[in-house]
């Protein structure tokens, strides 16, 4: 990975990090947010591991949908109906539906 990869995760402040209950198996690759499994806690844990593993080669941001849906993803939602949280890598929809370092790694090593 030579150029910066942009990752954006869109979700609601007071929701879970994904559709599955948080458990001890940590298949998402994150531990700092366990056992809460809250969206914001999981995003903070993901941000830390991204910095540790990739440094400035990854630009990461979290967008809360509580105050409305940003125009940048409105058409994606209308066309694809992705699950929340919505994950974009370099502006492209990634079908994760959860905050997961394990699943994002394959997009970062390409």
Q: Does the pLDDT at position 85 exceed 70?
A: yes
63: containing domain: 5-108
- What's the CATH number where 29 sits? 3.40.30.30
How remote is the C-alpha of 11 from its chain's centroid? 9
**pTM for this one?**
0.89
Nearest-angstrom CA–CA distance, 93 and 33: 24
- Considering only residues 106 and 40, tell me which one the structure prediction assigns the higher pLDDT: 40
Count the domains in the chain: 1
Strands (E), the chain: 5-11, 58-64, 86-89, 92-94
Q: Does the pLDDT at position 99 exceed 80?
A: yes
How remote is the C-alpha of 86 from its chain's centroid? 7
pLDDT in tens, 62-77: 999 998 999 989 999 9
Question: Cβ atoms within 10 A of the Cβ of 109, count?
Answer: 9
């Amino acid at each position: 990975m030579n150029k910066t990869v942009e990752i954006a995760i869109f979700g609601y402040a007071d929701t879970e990090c994904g559709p599955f209950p948080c458990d001890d198996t940590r298949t998402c690759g994150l531990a700092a947010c366990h056992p809460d499994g809250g969206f914001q806690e999981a995003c903070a844990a993901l941000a830390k591991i991204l910095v540790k593993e990739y440094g400035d080669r990854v630009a990461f941001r979290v967008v809360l949908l509580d105050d409305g849906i940003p125009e940048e993803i409105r058409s994606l939602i209308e066309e694809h109906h992705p699950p929340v949280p919505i994950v974009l890598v370099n502006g492209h929809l990634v079908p994760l539906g959860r905050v997961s370092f394990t699943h994002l790694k394959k997009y970062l090593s390409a």
